[in-house]
Structure 1
Amino acid sequence: MLSLLTTFLFLFSLNLLHINCAEFEGRLFTYHNATRLTAFESGAIDSNKALIFFEGLTDGYNGVPYLPVLNDAISKLDYSLIQIQTTSFYRGYGASSLANDAKEVDYLIDYLKKYRKKTHFVIMGHSTGCQDSYWHNKYGRNSGDVAAYILQAPASDREYYADEFPGWPEHLKLATRMRREDRGSEWMPRSISDVPVTADRFFSLYSHGGDDDVFSTDLSDDELDHLYENVNRPMMLMHGEMDEFYRSSVPQMVILERLQKACPAIKKVAVIPGATHKVVDPKAQAVLVDLVTSFLKSIGSS
């Protein structure tokens, strides 16, 4: 009996593993030969429409659990899903920047226009990928080719770090001093971060006014007006009601509406009930997918 039970539990665990491990069929391709950067396309791969997906810090391909249902839903709207690899993939973010990520997504758009005959692009960012989406909207060379941007979990890295790590002020003082000494490209000590991160990137992520500091709830109206000046391609922003990386006492809808006031290009904001940072709950995933598909329909295909 024990051996039969053990066998059953083993097979049951394999079945759960199969259920929880999402699989995609599609094309893996190199979009920039000099840097060997790749992207993976699934869904309606022969369509001229593509949704380009940016992961968050430490993530890579298939980094959030809702991608399979998103892939299926946008395929019905004749969009392919393109997961982009950038230099920031996995533990590489500490040596990169928003400007570099934007440059690399421009490489991808160039490639897709030339070799895949794509003409309609939407960029969707998760977590710190939201900063990438914001940055590309404002500064990207090919931002005019992007019909819209979708930002999921635009939480403040600065507010999270300040809440999570009591040593934040001293860490930031060190990064600031290193930058002042023209050592911004050097690594911060391992005692501060087990992921290699330069002083420049640390400052960008965790300082007030750093390049990544575009969603913090304590930013003034004047700061928001300045940050979102010339951000003019349509956007949708979505928070998760239970986002564990959102560390402000300000209600999520309040900051979303402040951002929308500062930036008329933000056409839609939403807080997804029951959604964590990566939107694990299937019901929350269904709400996310409904929001994305309705937004895609609203921007058309021109």
Structure 2
Amino acid sequence: MIDLATSMIKEGLGSDLMPKEADPSPITAYRYNSLCAYTGDDDMFSSDLNEHQLRMRLGHMSSTPCQVIFSMDDEYVPEYVDKKALVERLCRAMGGAEKVEIEYGNHSLSNRVQEAVQAIIDFVKREGPKGWDDPWS
């Protein structure tokens, strides 16, 4: 499917939809290639990126408080990927981002919404604005 997306882009059809077999949701050839091709524009979190590639893609976040919320049962992460090691590598590449592992969470966290929302709220309270600009006080 990556070859098909690449050829569609070369033919000026990057905005056209990929066949249904490529993804259950409608997706353009350009977006599919961005997400799925090795080092595509949006290949930000792949387990096969080396440390340098991850730093080049995510290192700009090192000066911003960040939280990586990782779905430990993400259906889009292959079984052979060590998810705990991957989330550690992502956090390190971002300059020490806070790690949150949501056990049994699916890709969209639709089965663990409360946990995800609470993690985000806790992070914003801790890392967000202080003083007169603090919306929590």
**Could you say which TM-score interval applies, normalised by the shorter chain?**
0.7 to 0.9
Change (3 A) 1:298 1:192: closer
Aligned-residue offset at 1:295: 1.0
Q: Which of the numbers 183, 194, 213 marks the counterpart of 2:13?
A: 183
Change (3 A) 1:228 1:183: same
**RMSD (Å) for aligned C-alpha atoms:** 2.5
TM-score, scaled to structure 2: 0.74
Q: Which amino acid aligns with 2:129?
A: S
Change (3 A) 1:279 1:193: closer
Aligned-residue offset at 1:181: 3.0
Larger Rg belongs to: 1
Q: Aligned pair 1:205/2:58, yes or no? A: no
Q: Which of the numbers 83, 94, 104 marks the counterpart of 1:252?
A: 83
Aligned-residue offset at 1:227: 0.5
TM-score, scaled to structure 1: 0.37
Instruction: Give deviations 1:271-292, integer Å, cap 9, x for gaps.
Output: 1233333242xxx555434422
Unaligned runs of 5+ in 1: 1-170
8 A contact 1:252–1:271 mirrored in 2: no
Identical-pair percentage: 30
The corresponding residue for 1:235 is: 66
**1:199 and 1:188 mapped to 2: Cα distance?**
5
**1:300 and 1:185 mapped to 2: Cα distance?**
38
8 A contact 2:59–2:95 mirrored in 1: no
Q: What pairs up with 1:1-302 in 2 under 5 angstroms?
A: 171-190=1-20, 192=22, 195-231=25-61, 232-264=63-95, 266=97, 268-277=98-107, 278-280=109-111, 284-302=112-130
| Number of positions where the alignment pairs a residue of Structure 1 with one of Structure 2 | 128
Unaligned runs of 5+ in 2: 131-137
Structure 1 counterpart SS, 2:15: coil
Change (3 A) 1:181 1:290: closer
Instruction: Give deviations 1:147-192, integer Å, cap 9, x for gaps.
Output: xxxxxxxxxxxxxxxxxxxxxxxx1111112222333233334564
Q: Which has the higher strand share?
A: 1
**1:297 and 1:269 mapped to 2: Cα distance?**
16
Change (3 A) 1:250 1:202: closer
